[in-house]
Structure 1
Amino acid sequence: MSQQFPFSAVVGADGPDGPDPMALALILTTIAPDVGGVLVRGEKGTAKSTIVRALAAVLPPIDVVAGDRFSSDPRDAGLSPDGPFGPDVAVETRPVRLVELPVGATEDRVLGSLHLERALAEGKAEYEPGLLARAHRGILYVDEVNLLHDHLVDLLLDAAAMGRATVERDGVSVEHAARFVLVGTMNPEEGELRPQLLDRFGLTVEVAAPREPALRAEVVRRRMAYDADPAAFAASYAEAEAALRARIADAQALVGSVRLTDAGLLKIAEVCAAFDVDGLRADIVTARTAVAHAAWSGRAQVTLDDIRVAARLALPHRRRRKPFDAPGLDEELLEQALGDEDDLPPEPEPEPDGPEPDGPAPEDGGPGADGDAGDPETEVPPPPVPPSSTDSTDSINSADGAGSAPAPSSVAPTGATYRTRLLTVHGVGTGTAGRRSRARTTNGRRIGATTPRPGQGGAIHLVETIRASAGHQRVRGRAGSGPLVLRPADLRVAVREGRESNLVLFCVDASGSMAARRRMEQVKTAVLSLLLDAYQRRDKVGLVTFRGAEAAVALPPTHSVDAAAQRLEELPSGGRTPLAEGLLEAAHLLSVERTRDPQRRPLLVVVTDGRATSGADAVARSRMAAGLLAESGVTCVVVDCESGPMRMGLAATLAEHLGAEHVPIGEVSAEALVDAARRAA
């Protein structure tokens, strides 16, 4: 077994002022697993996986029932399917497990399922434990958790919250304990978790590579020393690892007796209310984290500093109001909510009977009281007004007409997003499970069975497998009621139809004609709404823009819809309309992505008014480019941005050449589409 990089050797975990937020969050959730796990967000190369994998080595060992597949605690083994156990059960002590859940894991692998070999060979319905059973009383680590299927994330978080897993499938009915520390790591550039799932993680931390040259040099120095001699490097940190393990054990023993006073509980509620978080999960997690931090610090009562640390870890990801809002915490608002005292006051003693002291007590706004100190509301200045796009006085001719100078670039604001109509790719695909287009996927409704191709995975269709073998049992020599005689050719896998995620490539016209009459503001709002829809359907997105004399890839295809939204917000407009260049750039990008990810089908959304004014034969070249895209078979949608009483219908003509669906920009909204259908009826 290879030597693991020591937890204490990670730069930041051994700081003079204590562990950095990432290391501290991991430690606190092991002290109090009911905190609900940790999500570590950060750019690549920031030691996220390294420190998580090193965490198990610094946790105190645990006692388990010998031979039990579910790591049951000898003092409480009542929920183990391998039980019941007698009073003289054998006990063994072993290290805490770190179980890694791969991104491509199936639900059967996570929950466990029917032991197929026993079922087919012996006719017994026996449960085969999954990863949740193995992770009981340990750490379940999911790298790139944002790429995990949503239904698996829901399953993990539900099990972590309930402390048990229930399996009801394939003739198996099993319930077992599943108390584990859930740790997820992710790179936000590859896509975000849904806010509903993000909220289910107890704590979250943002990490980034240090910018100080001395710290960066120290990281490289330690890594090179570890690579040169892992055993010697680990031995040099053995004392620090043992001290950390002992401190965690002491904190685990103390956490149950830490006192959270009513004053502390009220302070936590005030902090959560000040940040306007939804629900009460934030209050509960903050309270549990504060108690764990007090135990880590060796205190018997929660202090204001414990609440401050807990709020910084438990609240940032719960402040997201919309998918494109970046998580974060306003430190000034936090300090205002906490107050200026260095510690919480002790619990008040019962007042003795007797007359009240002379003179009225200071009240809010009264003599001796600070009228502003207790006011939870803070005055928030209005947001700055973004620069508006070209006014209606800027005519199309002056901005984009032939023989005139290009209009200066301007950046249009974005309006409020809305729910969009569903745009799908034609046919039935075989891509990654998602929520957009019809596809044969690993989940969804079962519509049949098929013989698997070499190397093909999938859930086994038990009934069809038995049916395929039934007619051959006599020839194969099966005797009486003996086990079925199976051959590899009998195997059948289920065919399921669900929804897949797609590559949604936006090709956006940013020329001067789009800037006129504040049209670009409407365009950005529509595209941002479609981006929000792609975010919810787990699509990959890209952005191509064209203006002036050329087209550019503003954002290569990525899972990070947030990055696409940011590029869209910063998109300038102005100049001529190189429509052909935009379509050709989109075609080239789709060709490259088809080579990289052949299973993911593309959906091209062209947002334009259909004008082509850049260069000689601009119209002919744009029709040629549209023909090339149509021949490639890419599903296209043209969002027509033309407005006003006088319309030329150029976008509709472009849609015909592309073989695309033509959607006026006013009908991108789902509500507008419903209203139009009602009027037609």
Structure 2
Amino acid sequence: MKNFIFPFSAIVGQENVKKALILNAINPSIGGVLIKGDKGTGKTTAVRALADLLPSLKVVKGCPFNCDPEDPDSLCESCRSGDFEVEEKKMRVVELPLGSTEDRVVGSINIEKALKEGSKALEPGILADANRNILYVDEINLLDDNLVDVLLDAAAYGVNIVEREGISIAHPSRFILVGTMNPAEGELRPQLSDRIGLHISVHSIMDLEKRVKIMERREEFERDPAAFRDKFQEKQREVLDSIVTARKLLGNVKISKDLMKVIAHICMDMGVDGHRADIAILKTAKTVAAYQNMDEVNQEHVEEAALLVLGERFHKSSQGPEKIKEKVQKAVSDISEDKKQETGQNQQNSSEGKKRGMKLKSLEKEDEKVEADEEGADLKKLLKMKGKKKRRLYGKRVDSKTQKGKYVKSKLPKDAAGDIAIDATLRAAALKSSGDRPKGTMGALKVESDDLRHKVRKHGARASIVLVVDISGSMFTERKANRIKGILNRVIEDANRHHDKISVVGFKGEDAEIIIPTTRRAGSFKEQIDAITVGGTTPLASGLEKGFEILKKEKTRDEYVPMMLVMTDGMPNVAIEEGPTKDALNIAGALKENEIHTIVINFERSVKYGRNMNMELALASGGRYYDLEELRNPEDVVPEILRNERREL
């Protein structure tokens, strides 16, 4: 049965998504599209519909990389070496699953050819399939860091380089990157977000008539797909003709220097880092002009481009999409005013500007010095005890059971399946074969099953952090409660950036409760943090025990290293078995025995009853101790403490 695809021109609403996809189809150098928003809003449907709409590609027949026969500079090594035939292929949507291994994405060495023929040959990966097609990554913000690095390299250079066992093979990999994500599940790594040209937000359509039309069209399509596609054939042809015409016109589109100044003015006014946004707006504005069949960019084109490039990036700040039009008008007005100013006035303003600039610069240096001194003072207030045995836990390179990470050595296989280390396998076979041959003779290399070696890969471990928080009555001051919430929110933000897991356990009354279950998307639990209430007795031991139970499960996984951050005033008064204090110290001892790294932050100004319970807790757990009162800006410093611990352990 033929697989019919919903027509692009039949999609109801989501105009910005469709526009962004069309502009990238006209000019792939814009850099792709990042679509943020709700599930079920037609994002995947739009991407597949666009690929189906676009004209067929001319490719080298039989080339796994879809090489362009009309662009000799982009041909792979195989296509450059001889004559080839040309064929046409439909543009495709190539999906990159979140669980993909690095070898599956970049490709791997063809083991059979390497062993039998001694030739270097690539087993193509997803980036090979994606060349000259659309690379679609759903939930791109949850993509592993090693795969993000691969995408960054391919997006930057348009070439994928595969290096394995001393063999290096390169092939073209130019694609239109389309990523989708739900911001509630965590932010996208800034390096990748910065490289994606257009950022679009989508929401469920709230117009009654449009929602009814969506249902009607979907029902009509499912009832008779062929007839439905025929119905929209004319509109499909109109969109396709516009794209083809715009592609031809794009190279001749011009933009004035004044409008370039407007673009630069907007980006500076919005506080954009780097210059990629300026270039993306320039390319998008020219593409918009070409799509409208115009050979010169005007102010409306720049405004539309700025909305597509910057609008969603600043949607959380006061400089959201609604401000961009105002800033475009301001930029145009300022540049026009500059032209009217006299030369003498310009020189005077320039001189005054230089003086102001020198003054500000000197003040900035003083501020930087003060901040550096304060940070150094804070971060040197580490554990106030001697002789702590250090263990390299978080941040070490750990053995991986998956095929992730860098290949560092080989080992004998435990099972038939595995990640074969070709170099070590050939070396083992050669050593064995050399003993069976007369000295000075050559012979064919014979590889047997007992010669096989598998790869041992290493990769940076992430943390599973449990925040054990005292929310009992002894913490019932507005200052302490605000500090707790502020620190929790900043640690959660930091964990999201580093793709750590995080859990929050609060203890008060007779027991502890899990406020946030173990997750890599703690940012979506902000309401739970805001809803924390303080009051009741202090079951410190119960809080430590619940956190310990969570981390014992994490110990069974190689991907995450367990860490516990305890925030309390150290005044337990609810027992589990032997007594409030004894129970807490016993669990702290169990944390040490299980190599769970612990950090204790003391919230009590003065030591009660002649003993520092939190210091004893840190000693018993083999962890570190910090006094909140000795830390400036704890909301900022506590995440930094965690980062330092990761580096030092």
Instruction: Give the TM bin, normalised by the shorter chain.
Output: 0.7 to 0.9
- Report the number of matched residues: 590
State the match for 1:501 in structure 2. Answer: 462
**Structure 1 residues 168 and 640: alpha-carbon distance in aligned structure 2, compared to 1, 3 A threshold:** closer
Q: What SS class does the counterpart of residue 495 from structure 1 fall into?
A: strand
Cα shift at 1:491: 2.2
Q: What SS class does the counterpart of residue 44 from structure 1 fall into?
A: coil
Cα shift at 1:275: 0.7
Give a deviation string over 1:503-524, Cα, whole Å, max 9, x none: 2221222334334382344444
1:333 corresponds, among 301, 323, 348, to 323
Over the matched positions of the two proteins, sequence identity in percent amounts to 35
Give a deviation string over 1:134-175, Cα, whole Å, max 9, x none: 322211222222222323323323322322334454343444
**Structure 1 residues 172 and 474: alpha-carbon distance in aligned structure 2, compared to 1, 3 A threshold:** closer
Cα shift at 1:36: 0.9
1:540 corresponds, among 491, 498, 501, to 501
Q: Is the 8 A contact 2:9 2:239 kept in 1?
A: no
Q: How far, CA to CA, are the matches of 1:32 and 1:419 in structure 2? A: 50
2:445 counterpart of 1:484 = yes
**Structure 1 residues 104 and 41: alpha-carbon distance in aligned structure 2, compared to 1, 3 A threshold:** same
Give a deviation string over 1:550-582, Cα, whole Å, max 9, x none: 644333332224335675466444554343553
Q: What SS class does the counterpart of residue 80 from structure 2 fall into?
A: coil
2:524 counterpart of 1:563 = yes
Q: Give me the TM-score of the superposition, normalised by structure 1.
A: 0.74
Give a deviation string over 1:463-489, Cα, whole Å, max 9, x none: 3212333455489999x7565332344
Give a deviation string over 1:597-626, Cα, whole Å, max 9, x none: 78645333222122234x687983675477
**Structure 1 residues 558 and 225: alpha-carbon distance in aligned structure 2, compared to 1, 3 A threshold:** farther
Cα shift at 1:589: 5.3
Q: Is the 8 A contact 1:612 1:618 kept in 2?
A: no
Aligned partner letter, 2:499: R
Q: Is the 8 A contact 1:507 1:605 kept in 2?
A: yes
State the match for 1:288 in structure 2. Answer: 283
Q: How far, CA to CA, are the matches of 2:144 and 2:300 in structure 1? A: 38
1:60 corresponds, among 52, 55, 60, to 55
2:506 counterpart of 1:511 = no
Q: Is the 8 A contact 1:269 1:283 kept in 2?
A: yes
Cα shift at 1:218: 4.6
1:43 corresponds, among 33, 38, 44, to 38
**Structure 1 residues 569 and 309: alpha-carbon distance in aligned structure 2, compared to 1, 3 A threshold:** farther
**Structure 1 residues 629 and 212: alpha-carbon distance in aligned structure 2, compared to 1, 3 A threshold:** farther
**Structure 1 residues 617 and 122: alpha-carbon distance in aligned structure 2, compared to 1, 3 A threshold:** closer
Q: Is the 8 A contact 2:398 2:558 kept in 1?
A: no
2:43 counterpart of 1:84 = no
More helix as a share of residues: 2
Q: What SS class does the counterpart of residue 469 from structure 1 fall into?
A: helix
Q: How far, CA to CA, are the matches of 1:520 and 1:438 in structure 2? A: 37
1:468 corresponds, among 421, 428, 435, to 428
Q: How far, CA to CA, are the matches of 2:41 and 2:414 in structure 1? A: 40
| 5+ long unaligned stretches in structure 2 | 343-374, 384-389
> RMSD between aligned alpha carbons?
4.4
1:660-671 matches, within 5 Å, as 661-665=624-628, 666=630, 669=637
Give a deviation string over 1:3-29, Cα, whole Å, max 9, x none: 25425277xx444xxx52222212211
State the match for 1:22 in structure 2. Answer: 17
Q: Is the 8 A contact 2:516 2:522 kept in 1?
A: no
Q: Is the 8 A contact 2:494 2:639 kept in 1?
A: no
State the match for 1:440 in structure 2. Answer: 399
Cα shift at 1:278: 0.8
Q: What SS class does the counterpart of residue 257 from structure 1 fall into?
A: coil
2:609 counterpart of 1:641 = no
Q: What SS class does the counterpart of residue 563 from structure 2 fall into?
A: strand
1:451 corresponds, among 387, 412, 424, to 412
State the match for 1:200 in structure 2. Answer: 195
State the match for 1:406 in structure 2. Answer: none
**Structure 1 residues 44 and 332: alpha-carbon distance in aligned structure 2, compared to 1, 3 A threshold:** closer
Q: Is the 8 A contact 2:36 2:201 kept in 1?
A: yes
Aligned partner letter, 2:571: R
State the match for 1:352 in structure 2. Answer: none
2:571 corresponds, among 594, 603, 611, to 611
Q: How far, CA to CA, are the matches of 1:9 and 1:630 in structure 2? A: 66
Give a deviation string over 1:496-541, Cα, whole Å, max 9, x none: 3332223222122233433438234444454445434423432122
Which deviates more from structure 2 when the two are superposed, residues 331-340 or residues 210-219?
210-219
2:210 counterpart of 1:247 = no
Q: What SS class does the counterpart of residue 497 from structure 1 fall into?
A: strand
Give a deviation string over 1:376-400, Cα, whole Å, max 9, x none: xxxxxxxxxxxxxxxxxxxxxxxxx
Q: How far, CA to CA, are the matches of 1:213 and 1:483 in structure 2? A: 74
Q: What SS class does the counterpart of residue 245 from structure 1 fall into?
A: helix
2:102 counterpart of 1:143 = no
Q: How far, CA to CA, are the matches of 1:427 and 1:272 in structure 2? A: 47
Q: Is the 8 A contact 1:99 1:134 kept in 2?
A: yes
1:522-537 matches, within 5 Å, as 522-537=483-498
**Structure 1 residues 235 and 589: alpha-carbon distance in aligned structure 2, compared to 1, 3 A threshold:** farther
Aligned partner letter, 1:338: V
Q: Is the 8 A contact 1:449 1:492 kept in 2?
A: yes
Q: How far, CA to CA, are the matches of 1:33 and 1:672 in structure 2? A: 40
Aligned partner letter, 1:539: D
Q: What SS class does the counterpart of residue 466 from structure 2 fall into?
A: strand
State the match for 1:93 in structure 2. Answer: 88
Q: How far, CA to CA, are the matches of 2:519 and 2:639 in structure 1? A: 29
Q: How far, CA to CA, are the matches of 1:482 and 1:219 in structure 2? A: 70
2:302 corresponds, among 307, 312, 319, to 307
Q: What SS class does the counterpart of residue 277 from structure 1 fall into?
A: coil
Q: How far, CA to CA, are the matches of 1:418 and 1:191 in structure 2? A: 32
Q: What SS class does the counterpart of residue 502 from structure 1 fall into?
A: strand
**Structure 1 residues 542 and 173: alpha-carbon distance in aligned structure 2, compared to 1, 3 A threshold:** same
State the match for 2:370 in structure 1. Answer: none
State the match for 2:103 in structure 1. Answer: 108
Q: How far, CA to CA, are the matches of 1:224 and 1:40 in structure 2? A: 26
Cα shift at 1:281: 0.9
Cα shift at 1:108: 3.4
Q: How far, CA to CA, are the matches of 1:259 and 1:419 in structure 2? A: 55
**Structure 1 residues 337 and 447: alpha-carbon distance in aligned structure 2, compared to 1, 3 A threshold:** closer
Aligned partner letter, 2:3: Q
State the match for 1:652 in structure 2. Answer: 615
**Structure 1 residues 174 and 589: alpha-carbon distance in aligned structure 2, compared to 1, 3 A threshold:** closer
Aligned partner letter, 1:83: C
**Structure 1 residues 467 and 617: alpha-carbon distance in aligned structure 2, compared to 1, 3 A threshold:** closer
Give a deviation string over 1:347-384, Cα, whole Å, max 9, x none: 99xxxxxxxxxxxx9769xxxxxxxxxxxxxxxxxxxx
Q: How far, CA to CA, are the matches of 1:158 and 1:328 in structure 2? A: 33
2:6 counterpart of 1:6 = yes
**Structure 1 residues 672 and 550: alpha-carbon distance in aligned structure 2, compared to 1, 3 A threshold:** closer
Q: What SS class does the counterpart of residue 65 from structure 2 fall into?
A: coil
Aligned partner letter, 1:59: L
**Structure 1 residues 623 and 488: alpha-carbon distance in aligned structure 2, compared to 1, 3 A threshold:** farther
Aligned partner letter, 2:199: T
Q: Is the 8 A contact 2:8 2:50 kept in 1?
A: no
**Structure 1 residues 332 and 9: alpha-carbon distance in aligned structure 2, compared to 1, 3 A threshold:** closer
Aligned partner letter, 1:51: A
Aligned partner letter, 1:177: P
